[in-house]
Chains A and B, each alone.
Chain A
Amino acid sequence: MREALLAELLKVRRSLMPWLTAGTFTFVAAVCAIFMFILADPARARALGLLGDKAQLSGAAADWPGYLALLAQATGVGGLIIFGTVVTWLFGREFSDRTAKDLLALPTSRGAVVAAKFAVAAGWAVLLALWTAVLGLLAGIPLDLPGASSAVVAGGVARIVVTALLTLVLTTPFALAASAGRGYLPAVGAMFAAMFSAQVIAALGYGAFFPYSVPGLYAGIAGPGHDPPGPLGHLLVLAVGVAGVAATTIWWKRADHDR
């Protein structure tokens, strides 16, 4: 496992993937901060040209709890795409670049290769979530929002990280799609299908029982009046994650690698 992990880290280090994903989350944090800046004083934002004359903002409170919840929601929605892209890249590139065949008959087992890829994806997702939280906190200081306390900040950061973890767990089936589909496209398709279904099913009111809607609802995307998903929702997320890892590992070990 150690050898496979070091090999994966070398590939990641030399790629654009860390920069692109960190850049995207930096952008996400910046957009959340700008949104709060506008929400805190809409008249000032109108004067600066950041808000249209007739635009009305609603659904978020211009305070620290609201700001941290917004960051968590952005992590949930953006995370599915970004973490999904990371997982898709880690697995799909081996087939698009035809390098998978060089990983199949080695002293390092295929299971170790798959585990190393998931470990790198998980580690990077946690770092990205922490990066988003730290950037958000730093960007929030000059906004001078009300409601700051160590409990609010700790709770907000924890919510961002847990949302990221829930989202990350849901990306494991994309690894299977990229592997069995032998490239990026099937995984990208699966990712968009999951995202679209999450939106529709959450809008219909059944999001607490649909795994891909759970991270967003946990982050508070439905608004303050809605309950977060219960244990069943979280259990379903875990089930999807475990099934994704198991199916991907079995596929790498057992499938006919004939391309």
Chain B
Amino acid sequence: MGDSERVPTIEAAGLTKRYGEVVAVDEVGLQVASGDIYALVGLNGAGKTTLIRMLLGMIAPTRGTVRVLGAEVSAGDRSAWARTGYLIDTPAAYSELTVRENLHLIARLRRLPGPAARVGEVIHRLALTPYADRRARTLSMGNAQRLALAKALIHRPDLLILDEPVNGLDPAGVVEIRNLLSGLAREHGTTVLLSSHLLGEVTRLATRIAVIHNGRLLTEIDPHRLHGQTRRLEVATRDDARAARVLAERGLSPAPAPAPGDGLVLAEEHAVEHPDRIATALVEAGCPPTRLVVREEDLEQYFLRLVGQADA
């Protein structure tokens, strides 16, 4: 077992960023293992980009530490950047330079040997060949995003940090980038940390998903085990307040359903596995259920419920 399998590629502990009274990132701790595709999902303004910029040493944390590829980023160690590719925010390029020149410039700043060959390779890989000698200002949004990804990939990095990598791409482009990223992780062991709003896309691609809201990391999900984590028992009675008391007395934690008047929701595994026992308990307490449904949430519903609970 190599060191890379024991030491996380990214390790953040107690990461906090305050701007005056505003807490942009609040005590976030995360570990991303080598070869993982780790996705950050969250609403606009949740703190994803601030967190990513802290991981890249662009923003100094108010508190906490970041270690990337063994380098103490929060202490100013820059040694990880030769092995890290990144794309932050909206794609940008020097508009007066061609696609090839933009990539050549990055290859030079990354001190790559044989930059022309690397540029040609990444142009081909990102399907930018027809646009290689066009000025960046003439590119469509999708191709500008491809160019930004090409800049992140040109040095064959061990770690990719991508903020909204499929923004602006058409459906075929989204599939292409998904295949590219999963291929990099599978075949080359590249670690990928990405942020996205596209929950469906994230479920298909990521090996771990972190939900971030109001700067806090609410939970981490294994998408392959999402099934077990996102089943809920929905209970409706004629007196939900009384039913909630009865269930609470039995050690359960009933929560109001997202839509008012839709009854209660139970997340406990034993409740989901044995809805008959819940029905019996309610009948014995004199508030029989009028509806009892085991419902499986998709990531979108699960995410919205988590965020709703956090806000409450």
Q: Judging by beta carbons under 8 Å apart, are B97 and A104 in contact? A: no
Q: Judging by beta carbons under 8 Å apart, are B58 and A256 in contact? A: yes
Nearest CB in chain A: distance from B82 CB, A: 4
- Knowing A15-B96, A97-B92 touch, does A258 contact B84 (C-beta < 8 A)? no
Q: Judging by beta carbons under 8 Å apart, are A108 and B109 in contact? A: yes
Nearest CB in chain A: distance from B115 CB, A: 10
In this complex, how many residues of chain B approach chain A with their Cβ under 8 Å: the count is 30
Cα(A97)–Cα(B94), bound, Å: 7
In the complex, whether A105 has a CB less than 8 A from a CB of chain B is yes
Among A3-11, A71-79, A118-126, A207-215, the stretch in contact with B = A3-11
In the complex, whether B56 has a CB less than 8 A from a CB of chain A is yes
Cα(A3)–Cα(B107), bound, Å: 9
Chain A residues near B60 (CB, 8 Å)?
Answer: 254, 256
Question: Which residue in B59, B78, B92 is a CB contact (below 8 Å) of A99?
Answer: B92
Q: Judging by beta carbons under 8 Å apart, are B56 and A10 in contact? A: no
- Knowing A4-B109, A98-B90, A101-B58 touch, does A10 contact B97 (C-beta < 8 A)? yes
Q: Judging by beta carbons under 8 Å apart, are A11 and B110 in contact? A: no
CB-nearest residue of chain B to A116:
B109
Q: Judging by beta carbons under 8 Å apart, are B56 and A105 in contact? A: yes
Nearest CB in chain A: distance from B142 CB, A: 17
Q: Judging by beta carbons under 8 Å apart, are A258 and B109 in contact? A: no
In the complex, whether B151 has a CB less than 8 A from a CB of chain A is yes
Q: Judging by beta carbons under 8 Å apart, are A102 and B106 in contact? A: yes
Cα(A109)–Cα(B109), bound, Å: 9
> Interface SS of chain A: helix, strand, loop or mixed?
loop
Chain B residues near A99 (CB, 8 Å)?
Answer: 92-94
Q: Judging by beta carbons under 8 Å apart, are A10 and B81 in contact? A: no
Chain A residues near B104 (CB, 8 Å)?
Answer: 10
Question: Which residue in A7, A14, A104, A256 is a CB contact (below 8 Å) of B108?
Answer: A7
Residues of chain A from 215 to 259 with CB closer than 8 A to chain B in the complex: 254, 256-258
What 1/0 flags go to B242-277 for Cβ under 8 Å of A? 000000000000000000000000000000000000
CB-nearest residue of chain B to A97:
B92
Q: Judging by beta carbons under 8 Å apart, are B94 and A11 in contact? A: yes
Chain A residues near B109 (CB, 8 Å)?
Answer: 3-4, 7, 103, 106-108
Q: Judging by beta carbons under 8 Å apart, are A14 and B96 in contact? A: yes
CB-nearest residue of chain B to A5:
B108
Question: Which residue in B57, B101, B111 is a CB contact (below 8 Å) of A3?
Answer: B111
Q: Judging by beta carbons under 8 Å apart, are B50 and A3 in contact? A: no
What 1/0 flags go to B78-92 for Cβ under 8 Å of A? 100110101011101
Residues of chain A from 4 to 44 with CB closer than 8 A to chain B in the complex: 4, 6-7, 10-11, 14-15
Cα(A229)–Cα(B97), bound, Å: 44
Q: Judging by beta carbons under 8 Å apart, are B105 and A10 in contact? A: yes
Chain A residues near B89 (CB, 8 Å)?
Answer: 98, 101
- Knowing A10-B97, A102-B92 touch, does A107 contact B105 (C-beta < 8 A)? no
**Interface residues in chain A, defined as those with a beta carbon under 8 Å from any beta carbon in chain B:** 3-4, 6-7, 10-11, 14-15, 97-99, 101-109, 254, 256-258
Ordered by A's residue number, 16 sampled pairs between the chains whose C-beta atoms are within 8 Å are A97-B94, A99-B92, A102-B92, A104-B57, A104-B58, A105-B56, A105-B58, A105-B84, A105-B86, A106-B110, A107-B82, A107-B111, A108-B109, A254-B60, A257-B58, A258-B50
**Interface residues in chain B, defined as those with a beta carbon under 8 Å from any beta carbon in chain A:** 50, 53, 56-60, 78, 81-82, 84, 86, 88-90, 92-97, 101, 104-106, 108-111, 151
Q: Told that A102-B151, A256-B58 touch, could you supply 10 new A-B pairs with CB distance under 8 A?
A: A97-B94, A97-B95, A99-B92, A101-B88, A105-B56, A105-B58, A105-B84, A106-B110, A107-B81, A258-B50
What 4 pairs between A and B have smallest CB-CB spacing?
Answer: A98-B92, A257-B58, A107-B82, A105-B56
